[in-house]
Amino acid sequence: MNTDPSSTINQIRTASRQMVRELGFMEKTLAGTNYSPSAVHALLEIEKQGAMTALQLVQTLSLEKSSVSRMINKLIKAGELIENADPKDGRIKNLLLTKQGEKTVEAIHLYGQKQVKTAMEHLDILQQQAVVQGLCTYAEALQGCRLNASLNAITIGSGYRPGVVGRVTEMHATFYANASQFGQFFESKVAMGMAEFVSRLQNPRNHLWLALYNNDTIVGSIAIDGEDLRDNNAHLRWFIMDEACQGQGIGRQLLHEAVTFCEKSGFEAIELWTFKGLHAARKLYESFGFELIKEEDGNQWGCVVTEQQFRRVIAKE
């Protein structure tokens, strides 16, 4: 058995190129449709998820926003997709398959199944099992590489950026509509508070950090308001991550930036308010030394929830 790493790599690359050609990816259209490979994959992903936003397609397909936007417009004009406003937040546009789109995807599946079935008929059962296991393992390895690259595409910026008030408000409204059934009242309060805060960013005791995808799209935020509380306490506010980017450690980076800023700025403690039931967030706060100091029911956000206050004392050097 040849164990030369370079030989293995070359064999895999050769086989990959052959598969690309045999599956038709070198042609302008794919899977018996009139659509490009990226459009076919977009239809398949939307069918799999039930509904997707344009940003989710960008991240899933690893394409540029402009390319996805053009592709979506073509599929909508062709009658394959429809764009509907999210019932919980009208600013979010969900992409769904039309009846025609469902038929197109069904035909794509039949085409692909025939391709695989025909090829597998040339193999015995052991070879078939080897193909399944090998392809699945290799695909997972490739996905791991892509996710790491995607993670590297998210950087941390700071300060005001055009659209920041609307984007941070949108992320809060979307997340808490699902988590706590908050509605227009909550969204309006977030927007007003955020708008007022960014007007005070010239004060060095106030700061705003943003997670930026490809240095462009805001996918996370955190802020320290140094004027909002008494007794030299810093108020940690507007800590949120886009749901599509959660679980990648970016939130931890944002929280680290905020805590480090407070330590260097001479604050005596950091306080934040959140809601009971957000277990992942609580675990993250506690890993940074925050402790729960108060818990009570309140309705200041438009409906009754159990509010929690966390505090982290900053040790004196």
pLDDT digit string, tens, across residues 77-89: 999 999 987 766 5
Q: For residue 9, count CB atoms less than 10 angstroms from its CB and return exposed for 0-12, middle for 13-18, buried for 19 or more.
A: exposed
- At residue 193, φ and ψ (nearest 5 deg) are -65, -40
- The CA–CA distances, whole Å, from 307 to 180, 272, 277, 283 equal 11, 11, 10, 16
Flag whether pLDDT at 165 surpasses 70: yes
Quote the mean pLDDT of the chain. 88
User: Poorest-confidence range of 20-29, 226-235, 253-262?
Assistant: 20-29
The mean pLDDT of 210-223, rounded to a whole number, is: 90
Flag whether pLDDT at 222 surpasses 60: yes
pLDDT digit string, tens, across residues 277-304: 888 889 999 999 999 999 998 777 777 7
Question: Could you say which DSSP state residue 303 is in?
Answer: S
pLDDT digit string, tens, across residues 190-210: 999 999 999 999 999 999 999
Q: How far apart are CA 170 and CA 85, in angstroms?
A: 13
Position 157 scores a pLDDT of 93
Q: What is the pTM of this model?
A: 0.58
Position 150 scores a pLDDT of 59
Position 247 scores a pLDDT of 75
| Contact status, residue 193 vs residue 186, Cβ threshold 8 Å | no
What is the domain partition of the chain in residue ranges?
31-121, 128-152, 154-313
Between vectors from CA 258 to CA 234 and to CA 59, what angle results, nearest 5°?
Answer: 140
Q: What percentage of residues in the chain have a pLDDT greater than 90?
A: 57
Q: 186 or 248, which is more confident?
A: 186
Q: How far apart are CA 157 and CA 145, in angstroms?
A: 24
Q: For residue 136, count CB atoms less than 10 angstroms from its CB and return exposed for 0-12, middle for 13-18, buried for 19 or more.
A: exposed
Between vectors from CA 276 to CA 273 and to CA 277, what angle results, nearest 5°?
Answer: 130
| Contact status, residue 274 vs residue 310, Cβ threshold 8 Å | yes
Q: What percentage of residues in the chain have a pLDDT greater than 70?
A: 94
Q: DSSP labels for 46-97?
A: HHHHS-B-HHHHHHHHT--HHHHHHHHHHHHHTTSEEEEEETTEEEEEEEEE
User: Poorest-confidence range of 47-56, 147-156, 264-273?
Assistant: 147-156
Specify whether domain 154-313 bears CATH 3.40.630.30. Answer: yes
Question: Which of 155, 161, 241 is closest to 198 using CA atoms?
Answer: 161
- The CA–CA distances, whole Å, from 193 to 23, 67, 168, 183, 316 equal 53, 35, 11, 16, 31
Taking every pair of Cα atoms in the chain, the longest distance, rounded to a whole number of angstroms, is 76
Cβ contacts of 62 within 8 Å, gap of 6 or more: 146, 150
| Contact status, residue 271 vs residue 229, Cβ threshold 8 Å | yes
CATH level 2 (architecture), domain 31-121: Orthogonal Bundle (1.10)
Position 152 scores a pLDDT of 65
pLDDT bin (cut points 50, 70, 90) of residue 90 is: low
pLDDT bin (cut points 50, 70, 90) of residue 154 is: confident
Q: How far apart are CA 56 and CA 95, in angstroms?
A: 10
Q: Two tokens at 25? A: 């990816």
